[in-house]
Amino acid sequence: MVRPRESREKRLCLACGGSTRISHFGVDLCRACAVFHRRSIDRSYVCRSKTNECQSDISRCRKCRLKKIERLIKVPLVSTSDLNEMQITSDTPLLLKLIKCYRMMCETRLVSELSYRSPPVHPLEMNESDFIPNPATPTILNNSNRIFLSVILKFGDEAFPEFNELNKTEKWSVATNFFHRFRLFECGFRADKKFPDDLNKSFGSYTTFVSEDIAKFFYDDANSNTMFAQSLKKDLRKNRERFRRLKLHDKEFIAVLALMFWNTENSTMSETVLQVGATYKSTILQELYYFYRTSKNLDGYASRLGEVLLLLDVYNQLSTELNHKYELLRLANVFTEDNVLYNATSNINFFLI
């Protein structure tokens, strides 16, 4: 029997980036990756780069290729049959609640950041449709990131009742873990809507933008500007193209937000945090499944779900890479002692003194 044309269209393999026309293990994996996985059972490999984090040309590193395939296959709600056995709700109450809480978070950041501007922004222009993004500066970004972290803690209290019960250290760990990943993710998502015709521009904070042009004069030091410009040239356009290709729905965006908030894998967080996170992740995935079945009419949703969940891996990796760059900038005295981006990761007591 000939399959429908749609199912034979080429898609990207989520593991190696090659092309595939069909799914394996319920995920968009090419035949080569599927065969490699089957042959690698009970085998042990060594990472070519000795980092266990190979990203470019991952097909050349067996260890990292296998690790990525296994993460894709082992995501929650692995197969359609598993999902069909779940009790599906008639609504998506948590996603809707998170949308409202996210809007409140956005409004707070918008008004707070615009209040810092000189000359001051007229109150009538402090809204999404009227404000004009300004070029980012180190001082503006530092103030904006301080606002963002504070608002994240408030968002956690409003969106997740259990977050209220955590102690300060647990709250801070969850908030900073989310901050670094979500900041990059949100900037790309919002830039796709605000700057659709300029793929060389992205948001730096909620009301400012970054681009290669402003990177040349961003810091006082020429070497630091060169490093910043090279980083933007490599990562910014790639981030923009990712969202141009995916075309995330608002509910998919909110679902990724929630999964990032409780993304506690490979962390040293308490058992309480891990249990709360697991419960919320299960609920979010169930509501996302319901959304696909009812709103998007995606019976064969496995491919789309795999693409969306892969974003967690992508931004985990990007966050790790950026934290290494922050360390270099601090050693070069580009980042001052009060820099929020650096201290939010390296010093848990930075805001708790």
* 254 in Cβ contact with 159 (< 8 Å): no
Q: What is the pLDDT of residue 51?
A: 79
Q: What is the pLDDT of residue 9?
A: 61
pLDDT (tens digit, 9 = 90+) per residue, 129-158? 888 999 999 889 999 999 999 999 999 999
Percent over 90 (pLDDT), the chain: 40
When pLDDT is averaged across residues 121-126 and rounded to a whole number, the result is: 89
Distance of CA 216 to the CA centre of its chain: 26
Q: What is the pLDDT of residue 151?
A: 97
Handedness of CA 26, 31, 33, 38 (dihedral sign): positive
pTM of the model: 0.73
Q: Quote the CA–CA distance of 152 and 102 in Å, as a whole number.
A: 9
For residue 165, CA distances in Å to 60, 162, 174, 257, 276 come to 46, 5, 13, 21, 11
Higher pLDDT, 177 or 215: 177
For residue 312, CA distances in Å to 69, 120, 185, 292, 335 come to 14, 38, 9, 19, 27
Q: What is the pLDDT of residue 87?
A: 40
When pLDDT is averaged across residues 196-202 and rounded to a whole number, the result is: 92
Higher pLDDT, 349 or 99: 99
Q: What is the pLDDT of residue 285?
A: 93
Indicate if the pLDDT at residue 3 is higher than 50: no
Higher pLDDT, 337 or 238: 238
pLDDT (tens digit, 9 = 90+) per residue, 52-100? 777 666 778 888 888 888 777 654 333 333 333 334 444 789 999 999 9
End-to-end CA distance of the chain: 68
Pick the CATH number of 93-346 from 3.90.550.10, 2.30.29.30, 3.40.630.40, 1.10.565.10: 1.10.565.10
Q: Average pLDDT of the chain?
A: 82
When pLDDT is averaged across residues 94-107 and rounded to a whole number, the result is: 95
Higher pLDDT, 68 or 282: 282
* 241 in Cβ contact with 199 (< 8 Å): yes
pLDDT bracket for residue 193 (50, 70, 90): very high
Q: What is the pLDDT of residue 56?
A: 62
Percent over 70 (pLDDT), the chain: 84
Q: What is the pLDDT of residue 28?
A: 73
CATH-assigned architecture of domain 5-74: 2-Layer Sandwich (3.30)
- Domain range annotation of the chain: 5-74, 93-346
Higher pLDDT, 274 or 352: 274
pLDDT bracket for residue 4 (50, 70, 90): very low
Higher pLDDT, 103 or 26: 103
Q: Quote the CA–CA distance of 86 and 33 in Å, as a whole number.
A: 29
pLDDT (tens digit, 9 = 90+) per residue, 205-262? 999 999 988 888 888 778 778 877 877 877 899 999 999 999 999 999 999 999 999 9
Lowest mean pLDDT among 9-18, 29-38, 165-174, 285-294: 9-18
CA angle 282, 280, 312 (to 5 degrees): 75
